[in-house]
A = this chain, B = another copy of it.
Amino acid sequence: MLVVKKFGGTSVADKERIFNVAKRCAEDYKSGNDVVVVLSAMGKTTDHLIEMAKDINPNASKREMDMLLATGEQTSVALMAMAFGAMGIPAISLNAFQVVMHTTKKYGNARFKRIDSERIHNELDDRKIVIITGFQGINKYDDITTLGRGGSDTTAVALAAALHADACEIYTDVDGIYTADPRIVPKAKKLEEITYDEMLELATLGAKVLHNRSVEMAKKYGVQLVVRSSLNETEGTVVKEEVEGMESMLVSGVAVDKNAARIAVIGLQNQPGIAFKIFNLLAKKNINVDVILQSIGRDDKKDISFTISRDDVEEAVALLEQNKARLTAERIESDATVAKVSVVGAGMQSNPGVAAAMFEALFNAGINIRMIATSEIRITVLLDEVDADYAMRAVHDKFIPE
Contact = CB atoms under 8 A, between A and B. Distances in A.
A257 to B, nearest CB: 34
Contact of A71 (B18, B59, B75): B75
B74 A78 contact: no
B82 A56 contact: yes
Contacts of A177: none
A98 B96 CA distance: 12
A77 interface: yes
Contact of A119 (B61, B85, B93, B142): B142
Contact of A85 (B59, B67, B70, B143): B59
B56 A98 contact: no
A14 to B, nearest CB: 10
Contacts of A60: 82, 85-86
Contacts of A97: 97, 142
Interface residues of chain A: helix, strand, loop or mixed (majority) = helix
A243 interface: no
Given A98-B143, A143-B98, A79 B93 contact: no
Given A56-B18, A67-B95, A119-B142, A61 B75 contact: no
A134 to B, nearest CB: 15
Copies in the complex: 2
B81 A67 contact: yes
Contacts of A68: 74-75, 78-79, 82
A320 B383 CA distance: 85
A57 B80 CA distance: 10
Interface residues of A, number: 37
A375 to B, nearest CB: 42
Nearest to A75: B71
A74 B67 contact: yes
A85 B78 CA distance: 30
A227 interface: no
B70 A82 contact: no
A57 B92 CA distance: 14
A78 B57 contact: no
Given A15-B55, A55-B15, A81 B64 contact: yes
A363 to B, nearest CB: 55
Interface string A45-89: 000010011011101110111011011001101110111011000
Nearest to A70: B74
B85 A64 contact: yes
A124 to B, nearest CB: 16
A82 B98 contact: no
A79 B50 CA distance: 10
A86 B143 CA distance: 21
Nearest to A143: B98
B56 A86 contact: yes
Nearest to A81: B64
21 contacts: A52-B79, A56-B82, A56-B86, A57-B82, A57-B83, A59-B85, A60-B82, A61-B82, A61-B85, A63-B92, A64-B79, A64-B82, A64-B92, A64-B93, A65-B82, A67-B77, A67-B78, A68-B78, A71-B75, A71-B78, A74-B74
